[in-house]
Structure 1
Amino acid sequence: MRKLVLGSMSALLIATSLQANAQPDPEEQIIFRKAGYSFMSWNMGKIKAMAIDGTMAWDPAQVQAAANSIAATANSGMGALFTPGTEKSIGDTKTNVRPEMFTDMEGVGKVAMAFSKAANELAEVAKTGDKAAIIKAFAATGDSCKGCHDKYREKM
């Protein structure tokens, strides 16, 4: 488990350092941010399956790992992947972002901070293994996701 977390963190650090050296082009930015959100969604799904649905066996260590992955991704600086030129799909690379994401900086800042805070709280609560507290923090994290989706993501 520790190797998996350290390996994931290493990969994130490498990706971050590569991005710092060369800003990805707009199409790559869309691909990277979609991958980040998909990764967080997958981890949210694991927590949901264990804590809410009961379709996976309750494993506090796996919940903690998933919560840590969500928080790490939420705090990775993904906002840098929303630059001019990424507000529209490019070729086969689709984006569901609304134009308001690029003009409502105050609103975007609020939902981004709310999400980061909720993700960090989920990671902290997950350390305790307290299932009821995790469920509450998980719901708050999901609500923060919804806050952004409702305002800045096209309905599919």
Structure 2
Amino acid sequence: MKALLMGAMAAALLATTAAHAQMKPEDMVEARKAGYQFMAWNMGKIKAQVIDGKEPFDQAKVAAAANAIAAIANSGMGALYSPETTTEQLGKATRLKPEFFQNLDKAGQIGRDFTVAANQLASVAADGDQAAIKKAFGDVGGSCKSCHDNFRAER
């Protein structure tokens, strides 16, 4: 079992390395931005129904939006980050501060926390409990804010 796990981990590392080798830094930033924009769009759908009440609550639509967010959170977006994709190298094409790579432990923890929060949002959205969705939505937003506060440059 250990050998199987180690083999899987090695394969994942090789796949991540291969993804870096196949993409230009500008393409990595573009793919990253697209993922975050899609998540933000889905967060907006949930916000309109559960937080603001601007739209009637539709559990199926909220669950679909939460599942989309969780899918991206679990998609391996970490492979789209490299030291060549910061403001230091690409200027205004990105908002990723170089400090991200000087604080990889913190960045990794924020990423893991985001994934946990996104998965929790998907789980409670499937149940339809609006109070639980509201709390989980806040947790996802808080994890986004944590990364922005630490590693996102102002425009």
What is the number of residues matched between the two proteins? 138
Superposition map of 1:8-87 within 5 A = 20=19, 23-87=22-86
Larger Rg computed on CA atoms = 2
Query: Cα distance 1:22–1:104, how it changes in 2: closer, same or farther (>3 A)?
Result: closer
Per the TM alignment, residue 83 of structure 1 is displaced from its structure 2 partner at its CA by 1.1
Structure 1 residue runs of 5 or longer lacking an equivalent are 1-15
**Kept after mapping to 2: 8 A contact 1:82/1:102:** no
Determine the structure 2 residue equivalent to 1:13: none
**Kept after mapping to 1: 8 A contact 2:83/2:98:** no
What percent of counterpart residues are identical?
53
The whole-number CA distance in structure 1 between the counterparts of 2:74 and 2:53 is: 29
Letter in 2 for 1:75: N
The whole-number CA distance in structure 2 between the counterparts of 1:86 and 1:44 is: 25
Structure 2 residue runs of 5 or longer lacking an equivalent are 1-14
Query: Cα distance 1:33–1:21, how it changes in 2: closer, same or farther (>3 A)?
Result: closer
Determine the structure 2 residue equivalent to 1:3: none
TM-score, normalization by structure 1: 0.82
1:108 correspondence with 2:107: yes
Per the TM alignment, residue 44 of structure 1 is displaced from its structure 2 partner at its CA by 0.5
Determine the structure 1 residue equivalent to 2:127: 128
Letter in 1 for 2:122: A
Per the TM alignment, residue 96 of structure 1 is displaced from its structure 2 partner at its CA by 0.7
Letter in 1 for 2:120: E
